[in-house]
Amino acid sequence: MEERYVGRSGLRVSRLGLGTLCWGHDTDEHDARDQLRLFVEAGGTLVDTADSYGDGTSEEVLGALLGEVVDRSDLVITTKAGLGRDVAAGGPLRPDASARSMLMALDRSLARLGTDHVDLWLAHAWDPAVPVEETLRALQAAVTTGRARYVGVADHAGWQLATAAAGAVRTGVPLVAAANELSLLQRRAEAELVPAATHHGVGVLAWAPLARGVLTGKYRAGLPADSRAASQQMARWVAPYLGAEHRRVVQAVATAADGLGVAPLEVALAWVLDRPGVVSALVGARTAGQLKAVLAGEDLVLPPEIRAALDDVSAR
């Protein structure tokens, strides 16, 4: 699998990243083990998790597999901090990018992962209640103490990324990555986030490149019983992309796939990987079978005319 440099840094990652949002609930430890093995055998190196994924269970599952399935040194591990829960048990996640919260979360992440450092640590959300300088000091402290090799942000708007990136330069620890949703059904990041990232030398990690599974075409004929949309936990996650306005794009992807003799997910993924500024696409499969299908088509390059047609049909 091809590796790419992340922004203006020496960090290299595989062009596909393994997302672990489902690990610990929809994906048990056995399926996680199979996924990680398949991913590494295909040449993948970037594994993405967060302290908020399953309240830490994703990190715990990954940590249990390090040393068993793959050497720690063979992976580029990314985790995130900056989202916390309200005091009430089971309350919704909310931004908390204070230095205290961020650095405590990083220490918990390292303990769950069973490692003394992560390769890339991201501030998971913009917190309007906390000065950005404070959040940046937390990122700086993580690097200077050796607990993180590189830092960046996730789910920031373009102006938020630009503000943080400019401030980070002054700390001496620049941002190298920005993780944001990007797919044929969600192109909002292209308006401001991607140009801001390019200007500041920040590489984009595109999450949900298959629009939370919708661009695989699995929902064209209904709601499969074993799908995320049928899951009580994940239904709200998929619902925004099941509207009538999205069906035209899904159909266009399926038509292109038929013409190329490949699966729709291969077309959707190839479109994202070809976007300016994108370093890697983070794919979160629930099962090893789903991941195997993704890996089988990761090297597809779309003909210019098909790419242009998809650009047109998905334009907002």
Rounded distance between C-alpha atoms, residue 19 and residue 179, angstroms: 12
Structure tokens at 164: 């943080």
Q: What is the pLDDT of residues 131-162, one digit of tens each?
A: 999 999 999 999 999 999 999 999 999 999 99
Q: What is the pLDDT of residue 220?
A: 75
Whether 53 sits among the annotated catalytic residues: the reply is yes
pLDDT at 235: 65
Q: What is the mean pLDDT of residues 43-65?
A: 97
pLDDT over threshold 90, residue 119: yes
Query: Mean per-residue pLDDT for 231-236?
Result: 64
Q: What CA–CA distance (Å, rounded) separates 250 from 185?
A: 8
Q: For residues 207-232, give the mean pLDDT.
A: 76
**Confidence band, pLDDT 50/70/90 cuts, at residue 221:** low
Instruction: Give bridge partners of residue 205 from the DSSP assignment.
Output: 179, 280
- Mean pLDDT, rounded, for 75-90: 82
Q: What is the pLDDT of residue 242?
A: 85
pLDDT tier, 223 (very low <50, low <70, confident <90, very high otherwise):
low
State the Cα–Cα distance between residues 54 and 181, nearest whole angstrom: 19
How far apart are the C-alpha atoms of 137 and 114, rounded to whole Å? 24
pLDDT score for 7: 97
List Cβ neighbours of 197 (8 Å cut-off, separation of 6 or more). Answer: 7, 161, 178, 203, 204, 277
Q: Residue 174 contacts by C-beta under 8 Å, 6 or more apart in sequence?
A: 8, 9, 165, 168, 201
Whole-angstrom Cα Rg for the chain = 19
Looking at 57-66, 80-89, 136-145, 265-274, which range is the least confident one? 80-89
Share of the chain above pLDDT 70, in %: 93
* β pairing state of 3-5 and 12-14: antiparallel
pTM value? 0.94
- Ramachandran category for residue 222: left, alpha or beta (phi over 0 → left; psi -120 to 50 → alpha): left
Task: Note whether 203 and 279 are within 8 A (CB).
Answer: yes
Q: Does 183 score more than 90 pLDDT?
A: yes
Domain ranges of the chain: 3-213+265-301
> Is the model's pLDDT at 84 over the cut of 60?
yes
For tokens 């990954």, name the residue: 62
Instruction: Please indicate whether residue 84 or residue 259 has the higher confidence score (pLDDT).
Output: 259
Cα–Cα distance for residue pair 138/225, rounded to 1 Å: 43
Least confident of 92-96, 228-232, 237-241, 282-286: 228-232
For the chain, the average pLDDT equals 93
Q: 3-213+265-301 belongs to which homologous superfamily?
A: NADP-dependent oxidoreductase domain (3.20.20.100)
Give the pLDDT mean for 19-35.
94
Angle at 307 (CA atoms; ends 295, 269), nearest 5 degrees? 20
Q: Using the predicted structure, report yes or no on whether residue 3 has a pLDDT greater than 80.
A: yes
Question: What is the C-alpha to C-alpha distance for residues 311 and 24, in angstroms, rounded to an integer?
Answer: 36
Q: How confident is the model at residue 236, as a pLDDT?
A: 75
Higher per-residue confidence, 249 vs 316? 249
Q: Which of 53, 150, 219, 241 is catalytic?
A: 53
pLDDT on residue 87: 54
Whether residue 101 has pLDDT greater than 90: yes
